[in-house]
Amino acid sequence: MFNNPNQEELTQHEKILVIMFKNKEANQISWWRASYFQQEQNGIFVGYEATARMSELVKKYPFAFDLRMSGRFREIRFKFENAREIYNQLPVELGRHLVREKVII
């Protein structure tokens, strides 16, 4: 389960980020397709809206993600190497997950 001390409901954008951060710890996936978020991971489920939410994240925060095409599928990668700079530019509600999931300390 993810680190959610206040038991608040996460937005779909937050769910995508938390899933990415949790899997970074396990060194599992670096490039993500929407289909990965359409199944439950770490107790979190985004659903069929994942494609749209991923696109919104990349458009709103292009400094935080790399984008590529793999065949006909769009894939994104969070730029973990720039996590501190990204944290400083993200809104508080998104940036807090970098701290909660120990991406930055």
Tokens matching residue 52:
């749209």
Domain-wise residue ranges, the chain: 12-100
Over residues 39-66, the pLDDT tens digits come to 998 889 899 999 999 999 999 999 999 9
Please state, in angstroms and rounded to a whole number, the distance separating the CA atoms of residues 32 and 75: 5
* Integer Cα distance of 104 and 84 in angstroms: 7
- Token readout for 98 is 């970098």
* Partners of 76 in the β-ladder: 32, 67
Cβ atoms of 40 and 2 closer than 8 Å: no
Tens digit of pLDDT at every position of the chain (105 positions):
445 555 568 999 999 999 999 887 666 678 999 999 999 988 898 999 999 999 999 999 999 999 999 999 999 999 999 999 999 999 999 999 999 998 998
CATH number of 12-100: 1.10.10
